[in-house]
Structure 1
Amino acid sequence: MKRSGILNRHLAGALAELGHGDGVLVCDAGMPIPPGPRVVDLAFRAGTPSFAEVLDGLLDELIVEGATAAREIRDANPQAAALLDGHFPRLDLIPHDDLKALTSAARLVVRTGEARPYANVLLRCGVFF
């Protein structure tokens, strides 16, 4: 058994398969997920686990070279916007419909129980060297 880090076996296994340039979408409970990407659904109840909890856990395990979120997050969910700004000084903002379109190209989608709007971010994996 693992001592620490992400204990969910499906998520830990999916993270181990990621490579440089792969996309990982961390999304709220309402984000439409198209066929294609591998999905690890962590949603349990509305708000559990939160977007912030899942994002923080993933960032402890991943090298991320870039992040993209919906421009609408600024007005609709200032708390999530501040969280992303704190993690990603050069956060790319695009229209929400464009973010949804990019979802099909993601390698992994991690669905949270987040129930606040636009709590979604597409992470681009980096490399440790």
Structure 2
Amino acid sequence: MKKHGILNRGLSGALAGLGHGDGVLVCDVGMPIPDGPHVVDLAFRAGVPSFAEVLEGLLAELVVEGATAAAEVRDANPAAAGLLAGHFPGLALVPHERLKELSAGARLVVRTGEARPYANVLLRCGVFF
């Protein structure tokens, strides 16, 4: 049994299967989830777990070489925008409709309980060497 890190067996196993260049969509409860990617739904109730909690946990275990979010996050959700800007200085911003299109190519979708708008980011996995 794991004693630290991500304990959710479905999420831990899905993360272990990721490779360089794979996409991971971390999303709020309202983001449409495309057919295709493996989905780990962590949503318990509105706000639980939060986008910030899940993102922090994922970043502790993943190598990320790039990230894309919806440009609308800047005006609609300054807290999420600040969190993303702090973690990803080179954050790519695209229209929300484009982010939804890009999410179809993700290998994994992690749905949070976040109930504030545009708390979504598409991560691109890197390598540790």
Report TM bin, short chain.
over 0.9
- In structure 2, what is the Cα distance between the partners aligned to 1:127 and 1:19? 8
Which TM-score applies when normalising by structure 2? 1.00
Identify the residue that residue 84 of structure 1 maps to in structure 2: 84
Identify the residue that residue 106 of structure 1 maps to in structure 2: 106
Identify the residue that residue 124 of structure 2 maps to in structure 1: 124
Structure 2 matches for 1:57-68, cutoff 5 A? 57-68=57-68
Deviation readout 1:26-48 (Å, 9 max, x if unpaired): 00000000110000000000000
- In structure 2, what is the Cα distance between the partners aligned to 1:12 and 1:90? 27
Structure 2 residue ranges without an equivalent (≥5): none
Identify the residue that residue 115 of structure 1 maps to in structure 2: 115
User: How far has the Cα of 1:78 moved from its partner?
Assistant: 0.3
Identify the residue that residue 97 of structure 2 maps to in structure 1: 97
Deviation readout 1:63-91 (Å, 9 max, x if unpaired): 00000000000000000000000000110
The percent identity for this pair of structures is 80
Identify the residue that residue 51 of structure 1 maps to in structure 2: 51
For residue 61 of structure 1, give the secondary structure of its aligned residue in structure 2. coil
- Matched length: 129
For residue 98 of structure 2, give the secondary structure of its aligned residue in structure 1. helix
RMSD of Structure 2 on Structure 1 (CA): 0.3
For residue 21 of structure 1, give the secondary structure of its aligned residue in structure 2. coil
For residue 54 of structure 1, give the secondary structure of its aligned residue in structure 2. helix
For residue 65 of structure 1, give the secondary structure of its aligned residue in structure 2. strand
- In structure 1, what is the Cα distance between the partners aligned to 2:3 and 2:46? 28
- In structure 2, what is the Cα distance between the partners aligned to 1:84 and 1:126? 17
Which TM-score applies when normalising by structure 1? 1.00
AA of the residue aligned to 1:84: L
Structure 1 residue ranges without an equivalent (≥5): none
- In structure 1, what is the Cα distance between the partners aligned to 2:8 and 2:34? 23
- In structure 1, what is the Cα distance between the partners aligned to 2:90 and 2:127? 18
AA of the residue aligned to 1:87: H
Confirm whether residue 9 of structure 1 aligns to residue 12 of structure 2. Answer: no
